[in-house]
Each structure stands twice: as structure tokens, then as C-alpha cells.
Amino acid sequence: MKVPLLDLRRDYQFIKEDLLKDLEEIFDIQSFILGKHVRALEENLRNFLKVKDVIGVSSGTDALLISLMALNISNGDEVIVPSFTFYATASSVARLGAIPVFADIDPITYNITPEEIEKKISKKTKCIIPVHLYGNPSEIDKILDIAKSKNIYVIEDNAQAIGAEYKGKKTGSFGHLGALSFYPTKNLGGAGDGGAISTNDEELAKKVRMLRVHGSEKRYYHDYIGINGRLDEIQACYINHRFKRIEQNNNERIEIAKKYNSLLKDLENKELIFTPKETPNSKHVYHQYTIRIPKYRDTLRQFLTENGIGTEIYYPLPLHLQKCFSYLGYKEGSLPNTEKASLEVLSLPIFPGLKDEEIEYVSNKIKEFFRKH
């Protein structure tokens, strides 16, 4: 049996017919930029997240970059970020001449912790970017309390967590701004790059809309130095069709995770592996199903590959140890929980349409590996 890490074709079959009709209309009309499909997506997401505004942009990376630009983050400003996250969380800060300040994570949830954030705050701190990693909400209420007491902005990196909830509210609805990604692998993925920014601040929403079109509200008149950060109609059309199934697909991911948890329970009881744990009072939407293996992680991965099972390591080298951030002066041992996680995590197949026999095959092969070791 072969079990891929991800198979987007299984969900595509449910939307294909209606999607292709709408795509044909786009080409017939020849309207490709910021048209009715983008507006419809923004409205869908506003209602879904229960926020005042959502602005479609060109990628999740640009969602972070434009959010920082809207908050006037610039040279010398410090922005607290996790090191255990995708590169864009920190690179968007550095691109503006600001300083990424890396904080350590909770070893169980892999999310940046309020306690570690407090240790990193200085007079130069202007913003905090908590990441709801793998679809698991961070302790965003405590982070917001810290930020409010210090007059610091909060941008939620919600790229992996659309539909996740913390204390009954959707992630992406808490901070001053929230960044979404529609990269194809995401729970709400597009057919290429795409992203969005959520906010409850009308002034920030207005500025974000201008920044995504070269800082312009009226064509050829520019109030800000913006970027070309627009979401196109083809992407918005595809995402809107996938949006119709977002709750169903997220719930399916949750059920898959429960099945893995049950099948791998004996190994966890023996502390050979550790399955994902949810933040209290939260809804984890399992963008990734990531286990932790204290010993033999790389050997297990090789064994699973040889048996036709797709896996991935998110993330094998923490950002604070990446060559491009060496100028910041971090060394091995700077963030022990982050560094330990990078050596132990392994993501297993999880996607809508994954079959019970495939889940059982993956789980049985993991058990077989540990019997041999």
C-alpha cells in the first residue's frame, strides 16, 4: 500500500464540476483581478471568522508583510516570533529592517508561550506574532493581555489554523490583525498562492486595502509605499468552492487524528512516541498530524518511506539557527524546547478523504518499526 502525505485530488472531485463552470465564466468575461470572486471570498471569511473585515492578498507571506507594514513596523523595531515555524513568520519582519526576536515554545503544543514572550520584551518591542502551529491555537488571550499591558501590537499567524477555535472564538479574530495562507496544502488551499488579512480595526482595514495595491486608494494616487499584493480572481474562485467544505473537512481531519491517537496509544503509553495535544478550551484543526519521537525519528521516517508512506519534518532546522539569521547571534542551546522539537517531530498523512485502512496501515507500520527496535 502507498499512502501519500497529502492527496488534494480526493477533495477536488467534490467541487470540480461547479468550479470549472465558474472558471470558464472568468475567462469569458476576462476579469482577473479583485473582482466578484475576491469580494465573495472576503465576505465568506468575514462571516466565518466573525470579524469586521477580511482583505484578500497574494500570499500568506504577503499577508504577514502587509500586516507589519500597516502597523508601521520598520528599522530597529523588535517583533517577537517563534523560531519553530515557517520561515515567512520571521522573514517578513526582517524584510522591513525590523528585528525578529525568537522566543521558545511549549514542548507539548509547539506554540510560543506567554512566559517566554514576557522574557523577550524590551523597550524596542512593537509587535508579537504568535503562530497557531499545525492548526493548534496558542494561548492567545494571555498573549493579548501581555501585549495590552505593554502597548504592543499582536498579529496572529493563522496560516495553518483556519477554523481553529480558542474559547469559542475563531483564531484570526483576536489580534489587531490576522494572516491567512491559501497555499495549496493548507486546510483551505488554493490552486497556487493566495492569502488574506483579518481585522476588527476599520482604519487598519482601510490601510491594508491600500497597501495591497501599491498604497493607492484612487488609481495612480499613492498615499503609502505599498506592494503589488492582490489576490486574483482565479484563486478566489477556487478557494470559494473549497470554502463550502471547510467545516466538513476540518471535522474529518479531527476524526482522523482521533483514529491515529487510538491506534498509537500503546506506543505513547510506553513513551516511544507522543501524539498531538490540544490547547485547553480549543479546537485543533490538524493542518498537520505531528507526532514526537524521542529516539529513532529519522530511522522511523526512512522505514515509513520504504513502505510507501509519505511523511515530512516541520521543521528540521529552527529559524534562529538558520544561516540567514546568523547576524542575530543565536547559538545552539539558545531555545532548548525549539531545538529538541526540531529533532523529534514527524508529520504523518492527514487530509480529507484519507481512508481508515490507510490510517491503520500507517499506524501498523509504526508499531512494526518499534517491535524491531
Above 90 in pLDDT, residue 362? yes
How far is residue 82's CA from residue 101's CA, in Å, rounded to a whole number? 8
The pTM for the full model equals 0.97
Q: How far is CA 80 from CA 244, 246, 365, in A?
A: 35, 31, 40
Q: Give residue-wise pLDDT tens across range 10-57.
A: 999 999 999 999 999 999 999 999 899 999 999 999 999 999 999 999
Q: Give residue-wise pLDDT tens across range 319-347.
A: 999 999 999 999 999 999 999 999 999 99
Above 90 in pLDDT, residue 242? yes
How far is residue 293's CA from residue 358's CA, in Å, rounded to a whole number? 21
Q: Give residue-wise pLDDT tens across range 269-288.
A: 999 999 999 888 999 999 99
Q: How many of the other CB atoms lie within 10 Å of CB of 153?
A: 21
How far is residue 131's CA from residue 82's CA, in Å, rounded to a whole number? 7
| 230 grid coordinates | 492582490
Q: Give residue-wise pLDDT tens across range 179-215.
A: 999 999 999 999 999 999 999 999 999 999 999 999 9
Cα angle vertex 318, ends 316, 319, to 5°? 130
Q: Give 209: exposed, middle or buried? Use CB within 10 Å, 0-12, 13-18, 19+.
A: buried
How far is residue 85's CA from residue 79's CA, in Å, rounded to a whole number? 15
